Amino acid sequence: MKKRRNSGSIAGNPVLVGASTVLVIVVAVFLAYNANSGLPFVPTYSVKTEVPSAAQLVAGNEVRLGGVRVGVVSDITPVRKPDGSVMAQLSLELDTTVDPLPQDSTVLIRPKSALGLKYVELSKGTSPKGLDAGGTLPLGQAKPAPVEFDEFLGTFDEKTRVASRKNLVEFGNALAGRGADLNAALTDLQPLLVNLQPVMRNLADPQTKLSRLVRALGATAAAVAPVATDQAALFRNLDTTFTGLAGVTGPIQESITGGPPALDAAIRNLPRQRPFLRNSEAFFRELRPGTRALRTAAPTLADALVIGTPVLRRSTVFNARLKPTFRSLERFAADPLASLGIRDLGNTARILTPTIARLKPAQTVCNYVSLWFRNVASVISQGDSNGTGQRFIIVATPQGENNEGLFAASPANGKGTDRGDTTRNYLHTNPYPNVAAPDQLQECEAANEPFITGRQVIGNVAGNQGRLTEKTTVDRG
């Protein structure tokens, strides 16, 4: 007798088995499709964050903390700021294990692969205050600024690639055949590194203020950035210069070898030169008025140089002709009597110095000598075939007591004349007029002396009569 199959079993019913299988597959597909957005019925911690740009970021991208997936991006919304620019606001669905996220946490969008896939990386802060669910991390905490992969590759443009190739070639040429030198350098590195340790400790000391030096160097580099092209030209010119110096390495090495002794000598001697330099500075400071005066004399000096150049060319022949003269002077200097004569001349010069000091202004200020010889020449400047004649005129002296034409008992002082005119018979004489000599007024009195009527005048006239005098010149043809 056959047993009847149990019709109530699911395994025994093909329809129920097929329906269950389909249901399981549908649930699995549903869960797989929504896995990026979080599993259903699983609690999450929702926060928002502001970022400058959400380029290539889509909803469903991962959120990581320390490299571990802790959530997904559920939504991306553009937001316009008050200044008119646009940023992106990300809605994040995080695991509850992250709750609470410190308020000073930072966010960074990073590439997941070279194909452009991105994810959001969170970095936990240290603030004791946590971010409430639904809270927002402000834009200022989206840092540091992300560097895109294409931006990284963009640094290697054509010029950079050409320069890199040149660097590799030049470094290769520089190191080729220098293995022994490299070995020696590595050997010498050990004592260098030993001595370098105290130097590094000194630099690391806060009292050294190395950070200020680095900032100053940065400011200096920023200041010279506008002249980078000129600096590049400078280095190219230096390359040309050093290429030319390559052929004279021997003298250069000798100069470097002699450098330390020269520096030691400078250390010893330069302090001794300081008084000389101070005196030189004072000397040149006192020369400034004379230098300013040379500006007006520059045309005359230029003419002198133009005229003097051919004279100097002819001076070599003249110097050759002077040799016998100097030999005669040498024999004269060797004569014992010459020194006696020179001493006598020195004594004569010392004796005549006061006299010359008083006579010199008569010529340099009043031009007496030149005027006297000119006037003498004028006296006999006219004549005929028989000779020259002297020109003169008779000036009658005033008549009366003690007049200048006859013997006098005293200087004429206005006593009567034949015509009863008592205003003419006065003596006017100045045997030693002022010529700007020492202890005299700075005047040329003889050339400018006024005639005072009705009064006796003997000696210098009162007051300064000035230094105006007639100049004499020489006709140079």
Please give the average per-residue pLDDT across 383-408, as a whole number. Answer: 77
Q: Phi-psi category of 38—alpha, beta or left, where left has phi over 0 and alpha has psi -120 to 50?
A: left
List pLDDT tens digits, range 74-98.
888 888 888 888 888 888 888 888 8
Question: What does the domain layout of the chain look like in residue ranges?
Answer: 43-154
**Residue 475 in 3-state DSSP?**
coil
- The pLDDT mean for the chain works out to 81
Over residues 215-263, the pLDDT tens digits come to 999 899 888 888 888 888 998 898 888 888 777 777 777 888 888 888 8
Q: Are 50 and 136 in contact (CB under 8 A)?
A: yes
For 126-144, the pLDDT digits (tens) are 888 888 888 888 888 887 7
Query: How far apart (Å, rounded) are the C-alpha atoms in residues 308 and 380?
Result: 39
Q: Is the pLDDT of residue 152 over 80?
A: no
User: How does residue 348 score in pLDDT terms, banded at 50, 70 and 90?
Assistant: very high
Pairing label, strands 106-111, 101-102? unpaired
Of 228 and 24, the one with more pLDDT = 228
Stretch 142-152: mean pLDDT, rounded? 70
pLDDT, tens digit, 9 for 90 and up, residues 166-217: 998 888 888 887 888 888 888 888 888 888 888 888 888 888 888 888 899 9
Structure confidence by residue, pLDDT tens digits, 296-307: 888 888 888 888
- pLDDT reading at 15 higher than 60: yes
Distances (CA, A) of 341 to 178, 329, 332, 334, 356: 80, 14, 11, 12, 21
Separation of alpha carbons 133 and 124, rounded Å: 16
**Crossing angle of the two packed helices 336-364 and 368-379, in degrees rounded to 10:** 80
395: pLDDT strictly greater than 60: yes
pLDDT of residue 476: 45
Residues in CB range of 107: below 8 A, 6 or more apart: 49, 51, 90, 120, 121, 122, 123, 137, 141, 142
pLDDT at 30 over 70: no
Residue 67 near residue 108, CB atoms below 8 Å: no
Tell me: pLDDT of 279 over 70.
Answer: yes
Q: Which amino acid, residue 212?
A: R
Instruction: Please state, as a whole number, how many other Cβ atoms lie within 10 Å of the Cβ of residue 135.
Output: 14
Contact 57, 28 (CB under 8 A): no
49 C-beta neighbours (distance < 10 Å), count: 26
In this model, does residue 422 exceed pLDDT 80?
no
Helices 336-364 and 259-334 pack at an angle, to 10 degrees, of 100
**Pairing outcome for strands 130-131 and 118-123:** unpaired
Q: Does the pLDDT of residue 8 top 70, yes or no?
A: no
Query: Does this model's pTM top 0.85?
Result: no
Span 439-464, pLDDT tens digits = 888 888 888 888 888 888 888 888 88
User: Can you give the pLDDT at residue 387?
Assistant: 80
For the record, the structure tokens of 305 come out as: 């140089």
Q: Which pLDDT score, from 0 to 100, does residue 60 have? A: 81
Integer distance in angstroms from the first to the last C-alpha of the chain? 172
**How high is the pLDDT of residue 123?**
86
Q: State the burial class of residue 419 (Cβ atoms within 10 Å of its Cβ: 0-12, 13-18, 19+).
A: exposed
For the segment 18-43, the average pLDDT, to the nearest whole number, is 64
Residue 105's CB is within 10 A of a number of other CB atoms, namely: 20
* Least trusted range by pLDDT, from 36-40, 101-105, 356-360, 382-386: 36-40
CB 124 within 8 A of CB 36: no
pLDDT of amino acid 477: 42
Q: Are strands 457-458 and 62-65 parallel, antiparallel or unpaired?
A: unpaired
CB-based contact 241:233 (threshold 8 Å)? no
pLDDT greater at residue 115 or residue 2:
115
Confidence (pLDDT) at 351: 93
Q: Other CB atoms closer than 10 Å to residue 51's CB: what's the count?
A: 21
C-alpha pair distances (Å), 233 with each of 227, 240, 393? 10, 11, 88
Closest to 62 (Cα-Cα) out of 88, 43, 32, 37 = 37
pLDDT at 1 > cutoff 50:
no
Percentage of residues in the chain having pLDDT higher than 70: 87
Q: Report, as an integer, the average pLDDT of 308-329.
A: 87
The pLDDT tens digits for 321-333 are 888 888 888 888 8
pLDDT of amino acid 347: 92
Is the pLDDT reported for residue 415 higher than 80? no
Q: What is the pLDDT of residue 305?
A: 87
> What DSSP character marks residue 25?
H
Within 10 angstroms of residue 122's Cβ, the number of other Cβ atoms is 22
For residues 375 and 392, the answer to whether their CB atoms sit within 8 Å is: no
From CA 172, how far away is CA 166, in angstroms rounded? 10
Q: Is the pLDDT of residue 154 over 80?
A: no
Confidence of residue 35 (pLDDT cuts 50, 70, 90): low
